[in-house]
Structure 1
Amino acid sequence: MADMVDRSGADRNDTDRQGETIAGIIVAAGSGSRAGLGTPKQYAPYGRTTVLGHAVAMLRKAISGPILIVIPPGDEDAARGAIGDSGAISFVFGGATRQGSVRAGLEALAALPSPPTSVLIHDAARPDLPGCVAERLIAALRERSGAIPVLPVVDSMVEASGSIMGAPARREELRRVQTPQAFRFGDILAAHRAWEGPPSAGDDAQVLRKAGHEVALVDGDARLAKLTFKEDFAMPPSPVPAFRTGSGYDVHRLEPGDHLWLCGVRIEHDRTLAGHSDADVALHALTDAILGAVAIGDIGDHFPPSDPQWKGAASHIFLTHAVRLAEENGYRLANCDLTIICEAPKVGPHRMAMRERLAELLAVDISVISVKATTTERLGFTGRGEGIAAQAQVLLMKAA
């Protein structure tokens, strides 16, 4: 077994009280077979790591004292592989029951040159520990020898006799118990050593209570749900961002003609923009910006120039398609900022008509539409009048 190592560090969210050491025990000695994963569930993939790796990482954020993991005999290599590069971690082999495993962990901590003053005893199967729960548990130890996180029971409750309903149970008097459970180290160690009940007490708080100590209840958290069945192991999806940004850039070559299209507005000019569609460079840039904001490709993915059906097509079709896809993904336009880069034609006389047309196509108020124009001081292909470029930025916000 590896030696216990004190891993205190200034870069940690330290909830330890001044002059005290709070250690952690993670119980990971079960077979985890109910999950049906083909491997003990503590070593199963979870997010970017494993169940055990995530549990260690979250507990490490909560305390700065030593962390000890209780594992099945012979599993040290598997456990280290599940944790990865997690610094100094110690392992202890567990017993035949959870209570025996916790006792082994407590005795290992007691054998340290400086045993901890408090300990959080946690199940690897509850890997996602919010820091606020740890803070509440540790604060409660100022008044009590132990503290546990709990959630209210919201469903109606009844007693059961096999498959037959019995008397109602008062849900107001019931709580759902989670881990980690926090204890003053000397008290929980003495309570385990003095235990004379059945081999399994249910949890460590019951062991402490049997020894005559009061156990405080603090608010738990739904994130501490226990991973039991196979479907539990998919991490919940990340919250949908309130805002998303996108940018688009497009260029089209100028060639002889009598008009061109910019922002869905026909402009009389002695040159035209060459392209498979109507070559509205501004609408193409804006379309790409919206598609990019919701990460669903670019204009070429949705309207490939190799497809003859888009030959000469009006570019507003592309833009309204992008808006519809954004809406299907739960977003609407907050604002857009479009810059047209050219020497000619002059954009200023047409700017208001462009803003009005864009507001119509995007189904937004004209106040959130910006159209600007600039030149490149006769430098580059736009400065030489060879083509027109456009760049667009958009902000999308989550639809109500």
Structure 2
Amino acid sequence: MSNPQRTAAILVAAGRGLRAGAGGPKQYRSVGGQSVIFRAMEPFCRHPEISAVQPVLNPDDLAIFNEAVRGLAHSSPARGGATRQESVRAGLEALGSQKPDVVLIHDAARPFVSAALISRAIRATSATGAAIPTIPVADTIKLVDAGGHVEGTPERARLRIAQTPQAFRFDVIIDAHRRAAREGRTDFTDDAALAEWAGLTVSTFEGDAANMKLTTPEDFVREDARLASQLGDVRTGTGYDVHAFGDGDHLMICGVRVPHHRGFLAHSDGDVGLHALVDAILGALADGDIGSHFPPSDIKWKGASSDKFLKYAVERVAARGGRIANLEVTLICERPKIGPLRDAMRARIAEITGLNVWRVAVKATTSERLGFTGREEGIAATACATIRLPWGDKGPVSI
């Protein structure tokens, strides 16, 4: 049996994006409540046929990049160059040791790439080893000279707008980039143009009109409004969990290991905070509860780390085209004291879910020495999740 094809993706994110106006490089700005680069990178990180995602950055942006894509798995960023062409080559060289068969090259300023488009790109490379997504030109195009006079009108039926991700056999595109560098050619505006120059036949496949590039301030305003209208189905869910104390020397609470003179009696790690959050998210989705997805009767969940459950709930939201707007958990216990750990817990939940930490709240209270929590027999937690889904959402899906 032949080895399966290995496909990697390069995310080109080293540019400054000056035409997008104030607010820093456009790939780190927010659109629809989420950073552009997160939106551009997530579909590749989640795609089952992508084995590696290679970001290429301006080295000055490393800290802001790490914050923007928290929760996404990727290769160590490569150092970008002075031009897009140099940055792509840096990404290709960084992938060299992994020896992928196919590489997809995508601009970080295109945050609306779909899984279906990625799949089409992978399939399209089998024709010629080089393929790009295109969409038809809707308007008549004019060739204009330096004085502003029309020189000609190209035949519109043959014109196409090129998009990314552009897909290539890895060996042929890295050889083409190396040859261009040796010959001092640095003027190619996309990888297809470089491939054409290198003598490759570049095929086309169906692009996506929604896969637009954000360039100007007006683009951000328009897309913010569009996303807000699409995710207008706002839902709220609540969750509750409780675990008794047993033998042990620590507790897992909101993903943080907390030293304590007792442990939890639980089938998994007993993380009441994360369990309550999972139920809150599933409740907002009207998608059962944690027990229906991870039954305690199933031995494979014995001792399981609860971050797996929370990641799964987040993926359920993403699979329905939605996003999480806010998460809140309240812990009810006498001890351990939660206040000193609050920020660490918020940060851990943000890391697991991929949310900005300012969308995560952790609170704590006691029961004034009343009941089982007051007697320090265990800990209880309540949680609330607010999510936004597209209008027309059809309910639970299989993932």
The equivalent position to 1:208 in structure 2, one of 163, 178, 195, is 195
1:96 CA displacement: 0.8
Residue 61 of structure 1: aligned partner? 46
Residue 360 of structure 1: aligned partner? none
Deviations 1:288-322 (A, max 9, x none): xxxxxxxxxxxxxxxxxxxxxxxxxxxxxxxxxxx
| Aligned Cα root-mean-square deviation (Å) | 2.5
Deviations 1:259-282 (A, max 9, x none): xxxxxxxxxxxxxxxxxxxxxxxx
TM-score normalised over the length of structure 2: 0.54
Task: State the one-letter code of the partner of 2:119.
Answer: E
- Percent identity over the alignment? 39
Moved more, 72-81 or 173-182: 72-81
Q: Aligned partners of 2:10 and 2:73: how far apart in 1?
A: 16
* CA gap 1:165/1:47 in 2 versus in 1, 3 angstroms: same
Task: State the one-letter code of the partner of 1:52.
Answer: I
Q: Aligned partners of 1:240 and 1:76: how far apart in 2?
A: 32
Residue 131 of structure 1: aligned partner? 115
The equivalent position to 2:73 in structure 1, one of 55, 67, 87, is 87
Contact preservation (8 Å) 1:49, 1:83: no
Equivalent residue of 2:105, what SS? strand
Equivalent residue of 2:45, what SS? helix
- Show the 5 A alignment for 1:93-108: 93-108=79-94
1:239 CA displacement: 5.9
Larger relative contact order (C-alpha < 8 A, sep ≥ 6)? 2
1:155 CA displacement: 0.8
Contact preservation (8 Å) 2:9, 2:50: no
Deviations 1:53-88 (A, max 9, x none): 111112223343111111112221111111122134
Moved more, 213-222 or 83-92: 83-92
Residue 146 of structure 1: aligned partner? 130
Q: Aligned partners of 1:143 and 1:108: how far apart in 2?
A: 26
Equivalent residue of 2:116, what SS? helix
Equivalent residue of 1:136, what SS? helix
Q: Aligned partners of 1:200 and 1:167: how far apart in 2?
A: 25
* CA gap 1:175/1:38 in 2 versus in 1, 3 angstroms: same
Task: State the one-letter code of the partner of 2:156.
Answer: R
Identify, as 1 or 2, the structure richer in helix. 2
Q: Aligned partners of 2:58 and 2:94: how far apart in 1?
A: 15
TM-score normalised over the length of structure 1: 0.54
1:37 CA displacement: 2.8
Do structure 1's residue 226 and structure 2's residue 213 form an aligned pair?
yes
Task: State the one-letter code of the partner of 2:95.
Answer: L
Task: State the one-letter code of the partner of 1:93.
Answer: R
Contact preservation (8 Å) 1:121, 1:180: yes
* CA gap 1:192/1:229 in 2 versus in 1, 3 angstroms: same
1:47 CA displacement: 2.2
* CA gap 1:175/1:18 in 2 versus in 1, 3 angstroms: farther
1:131 CA displacement: 1.7
Residues paired across the two proteins, number:
229
- Show the 5 A alignment for 1:193-272: 193-195=178-180, 196=183, 198-233=185-220, 234-235=223-224, 236-237=226-227
Task: State the one-letter code of the partner of 2:132.
Answer: I
Task: State the one-letter code of the partner of 2:13.
Answer: A
Residue 22 of structure 1: aligned partner? 7
Q: Aligned partners of 1:84 and 1:243: how far apart in 2?
A: 26
* CA gap 1:232/1:116 in 2 versus in 1, 3 angstroms: same
Contact preservation (8 Å) 1:67, 1:90: no
- Show the 5 A alignment for 1:1-400: 19-62=4-47, 63-110=49-96, 112=97, 114-162=98-146, 163-195=148-180, 196=183, 198-233=185-220, 234-235=223-224, 236-237=226-227
Task: State the one-letter code of the partner of 1:57.
Answer: E
Moved more, 39-48 or 121-130: 39-48
Equivalent residue of 1:150, what SS? strand
Q: Aligned partners of 2:31 and 2:105: how far apart in 1?
A: 21
Equivalent residue of 2:150, what SS? strand
Q: Aligned partners of 1:118 and 1:143: how far apart in 2?
A: 12
Contact preservation (8 Å) 2:37, 2:111: yes
Task: State the one-letter code of the partner of 1:172.
Answer: A
Q: Aligned partners of 1:81 and 1:243: how far apart in 2?
A: 28
1:20 CA displacement: 1.4
Q: Aligned partners of 1:121 and 1:203: how far apart in 2?
A: 10
1:213 CA displacement: 1.3
1:166 CA displacement: 1.8
List runs of 5+ in structure 1 lacking aligned partners.
1-16, 246-396
